[in-house]
Structure 1
Amino acid sequence: MTKKVKLLNREVREQYYKIVTGVSTVISLILIFVEIPDDWKIKTGIIFSFVMVTIYFCVWRYANNLTNIKLNIDGSDVQIKVGDIFKQDELKVIPFNEYFDTKVDNVIIGEKSLNGQYINKYHPDPKQLDTFISEDKSLEDDIISTHVKRNGKTIKYKLGSSVLINDYVLTAFTKFDEKNKAFLSIYDYLNFLVYFWDEINRIYAQKSVSVPIFGSGITRFRGGFEDIDDNELLNIMIWTFKISKIKFKYPAKLSIIIHEKKIDQINIFKLKEFEK
């Protein structure tokens, strides 16, 4: 068992206290009608203590093995789970760079990245995808500049700009440096999320939306945040969603999809605090 959650974790203790309160209430009611023989009182106390310790370790083990959690955040259903984003229902979000590049050459776009997989699977002829993006009217107001001296597309879009193509939402997530490496500052990340949630509010049309943990791949963070981990990214995503104007009404929901190779690093149990 991966020890993502410490033994004396606050959330584990709070969950344990709730269980103990319920168990104690039931036992108190039983003892009103049932008297424990004198020769069993010590044994009963030992058994009770053993059960309480066992319950605590069961809660702790549950917290460490949790791979799926459902939250209600200000009226919106939010699910965080392990899965494959390409196999999710309704709308799936795929992060691109700020130029919406479509050249999968393992230089500009890696074939194993989410956008590389998406392009190879659904757009074997990237020119068609380029046409969809360039002709999307909603992106016209998000153009920042034109950069003619680069090995790729030349129109730069505002981070968070998004375009709907069938069941996929493509979004401009990362900046690109002169060596075609994706990077962000934490301030870019926050600005991206704030604008992205607004874009989802415009696009989703009461459909469920699935997103990856943005920045969980090879994105390079700068400005003193080079060591930011997936737990922190996930917390920032949920926090910015919480303060956004978007509200998913049943049966629509937001799903944040965690890659199976990342789950051992992520404390899902701690996310319960967002419901408080």
Structure 2
Amino acid sequence: MKIAKNFFSHFLIAIGAISAFIGAFSWLAGYSSSVQLIISFGIIIVGVAYALFQIYPPQKIKLFANHSFPIYIEEGDLFNQKGVIIIPVNEYFDTIVDDKIIASNTIHGKFVDKLFKSRIIDLDAEIAHELESIESEENSERAQGNTKRYPLGTCISIEDGGNVYILVALTNFDEHNKASIPMQEYGSIIQKVIIKASTVANSRPVYMPLLGSGQGGIKKPAQRILFYIISQIEFSTEVSIPEGLHIVIYKLSDKGINLDDIKSAWQSAIK
């Protein structure tokens, strides 16, 4: 219903604009009725095309953080990509997917289940190796999962299947394993993960989900979260990812994201 309403709204706008344009040329009245009929059909076709374009915005846009850092925002599946892939995890770098510690429908849960379900011991060993030189805080009261807590924004990289996966500590966990992201640290986390990605990307593209929009995430609309992420990337002036950072979003329309609006807002902001 909403799509139909938007379609007819844009359709009438287009028809009105074109009709006003043609009405300015009174000499058209001198043409035969068949020519006028063709023109009328042309107006309708253009109006339909315009309305369809407006209600079905693009599925991918390209922006530039700087001359060597293109940003792509696109619809897709993060786990179908090849290159450097960013995976948000909790501050404990847990690997137990039981819908209590890690939910199976989160990116963290899908990463463990899709890639390491039969190799959890190997994954735990790689994570421990990458974290061994990073300062942590022991939480001996935690009954399940890892007990070492790492600062938010901590990033480690793991290679598997030709891809490099950057695991970034995005969320705090309370005593009930409820996730949250402190707003005051959110921007810093984004900048840290972008810096980490630039150091391991080389000639590979980097793929990132919409960080902070999942369970326990930022309580803001996805469109605002996306623009905030882009604005944080803009201030990473010394960062270069020549093959681009791809922000991959599963089902854009379900999240209420309009890429035309994002592109227009970005172009206005950088003027």
Q: TM-score, normalised by structure 2?
A: 0.76
- How far residue 56 of structure 1 moved from its aligned partner, in angstroms, is 6.5
The equivalences for 1:1-276 within 5 A come to 36=27, 39-40=30-31, 47=39, 51=43, 55=46, 58-73=49-64, 74-75=66-67, 76-123=69-116, 124-136=118-130, 140-141=133-134, 143-150=135-142, 151-166=144-159, 167=163, 168-221=165-218, 226=219, 228-244=220-236, 245-249=238-242, 252-260=243-251, 263=254, 265-273=256-264, 274-275=266-267, 276=270
- Asked if structure 2 preserves the Cα contact closer than 8 Å seen for 1:2 and 1:64, the reply is no
- Asked if structure 2 preserves the Cα contact closer than 8 Å seen for 1:159 and 1:195, the reply is no
Unaligned runs of 5+ in 2: none
Alpha carbons of structure 1 residues 37 and 261: separation in structure 2 relative to 1, 3 Å:
closer
Q: For 1:87-136, what per-residue CA distance to the aligned partner results, in whole angstroms no more than 9, with x for missing partners?
A: 01211111100111111111001122211121122222322212111111
Unaligned runs of 5+ in 1: none
Deviates more, 1:110-119 or 1:92-101: 110-119
Alpha carbons of structure 1 residues 185 and 41: separation in structure 2 relative to 1, 3 Å:
farther
Alpha carbons of structure 1 residues 130 and 83: separation in structure 2 relative to 1, 3 Å:
same
Cα-Cα RMSD: 3.6
**Whole-Å separation in 1 of the counterparts to 2:54 and 2:249:** 16
**Whole-Å separation in 1 of the counterparts to 2:158 and 2:125:** 11
| Identity, % of aligned positions | 24
- How far residue 41 of structure 1 moved from its aligned partner, in angstroms, is 11
Alpha carbons of structure 1 residues 241 and 261: separation in structure 2 relative to 1, 3 Å:
closer
Q: TM-score, normalised by structure 1?
A: 0.75
Alpha carbons of structure 1 residues 235 and 155: separation in structure 2 relative to 1, 3 Å:
same
- How far residue 64 of structure 1 moved from its aligned partner, in angstroms, is 3.1
- Asked if structure 1 preserves the Cα contact closer than 8 Å seen for 2:59 and 2:74, the reply is yes
**Whole-Å separation in 2 of the counterparts to 1:216 and 1:84:** 15
Amino acid at match of 2:263: K
- Asked if structure 2 preserves the Cα contact closer than 8 Å seen for 1:64 and 1:269, the reply is no
- Asked if structure 1 preserves the Cα contact closer than 8 Å seen for 2:73 and 2:248, the reply is yes
- Asked if structure 1 preserves the Cα contact closer than 8 Å seen for 2:136 and 2:151, the reply is yes
**Whole-Å separation in 2 of the counterparts to 1:148 and 1:234:** 36
Alpha carbons of structure 1 residues 37 and 145: separation in structure 2 relative to 1, 3 Å:
closer
Q: For 1:233-273, what per-residue CA distance to the aligned partner results, in whole angstroms no more than 9, with x for missing partners?
A: 11111111111132222xx1211111127546111111213
Equivalenced residue count is 248
